[in-house]
Structure 1
Amino acid sequence: MDIQSLFSVKDKVVLVTGGAKGIGRMISEAFIVNGAKVYISSRDAAACTAACAELNALPGVRPNSGAIPLPADLSSLSECQRLASELASRERRLHVLVHNSGATWGESYDTYPDQAWQKLLTLNLHRVFTLTQLLTPLLSATTSSSSSSSSPSQANPDNHPVSSDPGRIIHIGSIDALRVPSLPTFAYSATKAGLHHLSRHLAVELGPRGITSNTLACGPFPSKMMAATLREFGDEIRGANPLGRIGVPADVGGACLFLASRAGAFVNGATVRVDGGVSLMSKI
């Protein structure tokens, strides 16, 4: 049980939604520099292409790994269907699906608009289910392939194959789903809380198919979504954290590598706080 094989993601096929910027970019890089092939998707095609070019230029990126742009507007049902179809035409299996695409909307309670709910419920929650449903055959194929030599005793009651290397779904949630945020981001916190519970529901549903589902409840990281908040309140946010800082790429990247590797193969339905402990702090 050496550390190289225990935490390896070499040769795995990964899809990271929202993988061109912010936390998604950090996750994409972590997989790529460790030998995975990563498809990067978001509605910004130019950003996908640019991010892939930059990531593929990193030292040590292997020819059969690296980043591949696969842009799509993930709020659209037809676009999710197109993405899943295109991925299936290129790959026989998908080892890791990282749901990172999302949006936020901050506005006072008295003027909080209906369109904010419509937009965030669709992107942050509904289409996560849609894309997972569409990609389940590719995720299941990972388990079937890796366990083709399993003995009958290694089958579960539904006769699905059991593997020590299941397909993985990683949802990028938020500590705002675990606590009431100080900012008026009502639809964001509610949809992220829904995402956390959806992940647990999927863990039960898809576990017998050889697929795990887990959530990272992320605290503040440098990203476009957090840029304005960090500019205005950065020192306070760092000061309020037990570790005295905000997240860096290795924090979220390392958590994803753990969940996607053999080391995380028996973790299913978990919510892992990646926030330095700030969500544990009392405001009273």
Structure 2
Amino acid sequence: MQTPYSNPKEARSLNDLLSLKGRDALVIGGAGLLGGEISYTLAELGARVIVASRDKGKCQTFVKQLSERFKGDHQALGVDITDRNSIRKLCEEASKVTEGGLDILVNTGWSGRKNTFESISDEDWDLDIEVCLNGVFRTIKSAVPLLSPRNGVILNIASMYGHVAPDYRMYDSERFANPPSYGAAKAGVIQLSKYLASFLAPQGIRVNCISPGPFPFESTQLENPDFIERLKAKNPMGRIGIPIDIKGAAGLLCSDAGAYITGQNICVDGGWAVW
């Protein structure tokens, strides 16, 4: 029988619950803007982090910085999540690094193309769906055999545009526009996360996602300051997100501090969707 409250003398401390010491994490897109911050978070909490993306060289450079900041046997691997064989090879390589298992899988893949509804082509649409949704599905499908023995955790990165629509008045050029394919793919990620939280629960696997709000690249901030001001004005907190804002939610959902959380979409958006 579970007691209605913790015994302070026996309960695990919050520091212990948040600790990822001895755990192995694979972060797809783990050298990117938000993926990089999540990689730092997991390493800071004690995990060994495997960073993977299409640009293995970028991952290697990032892992060198990661290892200098947070000691550990962190690794860089290449993967193309649009290629089933590449994903299979990644999981085989990750299994060798981790001696057969994974504790954490984070999916932050993104295609990077910008389009409006008028300009988007079938090819552009297909690429976004392929990278942002199909790639997440394929990666999870391949990684579950590694996660299951360790009662692992899956964290998918969705978007505010997976559950609310972009305001057309925000965008003054195709170059900075948000394509319809992106939101459609991220909505799929949110639903896939809920589905998997149900169907992977018997294997002890938790599945959640984070929907970041406006986290524009530094290049966008420099090139289009008027757009950034419109983003700030639309947000209840009056500012854009900075990468460090993602750390708390990622640490919670990937650690035992979130052991009773699954199937949830945590919005880290400064209140973007409340009005």
Name the SS for the 1:78 alignment partner.
helix
Cα deviation for residue 249 of structure 1 reads 2.8
Q: Is the 8 A contact 1:19 1:42 kept in 2?
A: yes
> In the alignment, does 2:208 pair up with 1:214?
yes
With normalisation by structure 2, the TM-score equals: 0.87
1:76 and 1:247 mapped to 2: Cα distance?
32
Q: Is the 8 A contact 1:55 1:66 kept in 2?
A: no
Cα deviation for residue 38 of structure 1 reads 0.4
Q: Is the 8 A contact 2:33 2:243 kept in 1?
A: no
> In the alignment, does 2:252 pair up with 1:258?
yes
Note the 1:74-113 alignment, pairs <5 A. 74-91=81-98, 92-113=100-121
Instruction: Mark the CA change 1:184 to 1:255 in structure 2 (over 3 Å): closer, same or farther.
Output: closer
> In the alignment, does 2:16 pair up with 1:5?
yes
Partner residue of 2:157 out of 168, 172, 175 = 172
Note the 1:24-173 alignment, pairs <5 A. 24-58=35-69, 61-62=70-71, 65-91=72-98, 92-143=100-151, 167-173=152-158
Structure 1: tracts of 5 or more residues without a match: 144-166
Instruction: Mark the CA change 1:87 to 1:224 in structure 2 (over 3 Å): closer, same or farther.
Output: farther
Q: Is the 8 A contact 1:172 1:215 kept in 2?
A: yes
Q: Which amino acid is 1:254 matched to?
A: G
Q: Quote the residue 1:157 is aligned against.
A: none
Q: Is the 8 A contact 1:104 1:188 kept in 2?
A: no
Name the SS for the 2:111 alignment partner.
coil
Instruction: Mark the CA change 1:84 to 1:207 in structure 2 (over 3 Å): closer, same or farther.
Output: same
Q: Is the 8 A contact 1:32 1:66 kept in 2?
A: no
The alignment of Structure 1 onto Structure 2 pairs a total of residues equal to 254
Structure 2: tracts of 5 or more residues without a match: 1-11, 168-176
Q: Quote the residue 2:8 is aligned against.
A: none
Q: Which amino acid is 2:17 matched to?
A: L
2:125 and 2:16 mapped to 1: Cα distance?
44
With normalisation by structure 1, the TM-score equals: 0.84
Instruction: Mark the CA change 1:100 to 1:229 in structure 2 (over 3 Å): closer, same or farther.
Output: farther
Cα deviation for residue 251 of structure 1 reads 1.9
2:267 and 2:243 mapped to 1: Cα distance?
15
Q: Quote the residue 1:241 is aligned against.
A: 235
Q: Is the 8 A contact 2:18 2:45 kept in 1?
A: no
1:68 and 1:24 mapped to 2: Cα distance?
15
Q: Runs (4+) of structure 1 moved beyond 6 Å?
A: none
Partner residue of 2:199 out of 190, 200, 205 = 205
Q: Which amino acid is 2:67 matched to?
A: N
Name the SS for the 1:55 alignment partner.
helix
For structure 1, which segment, 112-121 or 178-187, has the greater mean C-alpha deviation from structure 2 after superposition?
178-187
Instruction: Mark the CA change 1:111 to 1:238 in structure 2 (over 3 Å): closer, same or farther.
Output: closer
Cα deviation for residue 265 of structure 1 reads 1.0
Q: Which amino acid is 2:22 matched to?
A: D
Name the SS for the 1:41 alignment partner.
strand
2:221 and 2:158 mapped to 1: Cα distance?
18
Q: Is the 8 A contact 1:14 1:37 kept in 2?
A: yes
Name the SS for the 2:110 alignment partner.
coil
Q: Is the 8 A contact 2:28 2:52 kept in 1?
A: yes
1:200 and 1:23 mapped to 2: Cα distance?
22
1:231 and 1:12 mapped to 2: Cα distance?
41
Instruction: Mark the CA change 1:8 to 1:97 in structure 2 (over 3 Å): closer, same or farther.
Output: same
Cα deviation for residue 74 of structure 1 reads 1.6
Q: Is the 8 A contact 1:237 1:246 kept in 2?
A: yes
Q: Which amino acid is 1:81 matched to?
A: R
Q: Is the 8 A contact 2:116 2:180 kept in 1?
A: no
For structure 1, which segment, 218-227 or 271-280, has the greater mean C-alpha deviation from structure 2 after superposition?
218-227
Name the SS for the 1:273 alignment partner.
strand
